[in-house]
Structure 1
């Protein structure tokens, strides 16, 4: 049995990270440490959020090709089409005062 995708809550932290994805071009990849630095969030906050967003299908991750000599390989993240749609739906629901307190499941289903 497969585990259902995690629900995504539109917290300030989630909005900071998703807004960074929207503000960053596809030719300018994001990775965990960069996201932490640009949002001011700690890695203990950023990495679990990235994992939830990736499991929910909102972002996709891929490992950097090649092995850099001076640092560990980076895992690059991009906002998926589904993530872009889900975030827009959340923002619209929030603007109408219809955002559920308990979270948002992929596909726009409220839980």
Structure 2
């Protein structure tokens, strides 16, 4: 087990979009990279580096699909970890300053 503390994540709007998708995912249908790109409207050059950083920080866990149909490659699916869920919610709760709320697309008085 890695004894190093998880890395801090800078919550940019694209990172927030990816985390929001992962939080809303159903356990029996975890999203994979291309689906995250499609649903977030972000390109692969944005999404895949975010997924890599989140996985290195242990905010998410990626696993290769066990049985892929013969007509396509295996997918790497992603789920948010307990650590990631707690850390993300804590970061959102800290977003009480008006500039932070605006940066994350929250209007004054709007709860998340």
Instruction: Give the TM-score band, short-chain normalised.
Output: 0.7 to 0.9
Q: Distance in 1 between matches of 2:99 and 2:91?
A: 9
Matched, 1:11 2:8: no
RMSD across aligned C-alpha pairs, in angstroms? 2.1
Q: Distance in 2 between matches of 1:47 and 1:4?
A: 22
Matched, 1:59 2:66: no
After superposition, residues 90-105 of structure 1 pair within 5 angstroms as 90-96=91-97
Q: Higher RCO, 1 or 2 (CA under 8 Å, sep at least 6)?
A: 1
* Alignment partner, residue 34 of structure 2: 33
TM-score (norm 2): 0.79
SS of the counterpart of 1:61?
strand
Structure 2: which 5+ residue stretches go unaligned?
101-112
Structure 2 vs 1, CA of residues 42 and 98 (structure 1 numbering), >3 Å: closer, same or farther? Answer: closer
* Alignment partner, residue 90 of structure 2: 89
Instruction: Say how many residue pairs are matched.
Output: 98
TM-score (norm 1): 0.79
TM-superposition CA deviations, 1:42-70 (whole Å, max 9, x none): 00100010000000000001100024211
Query: 23-32 vs 33-42, which deviates more?
Result: 23-32
* Alignment partner, residue 80 of structure 1: 81
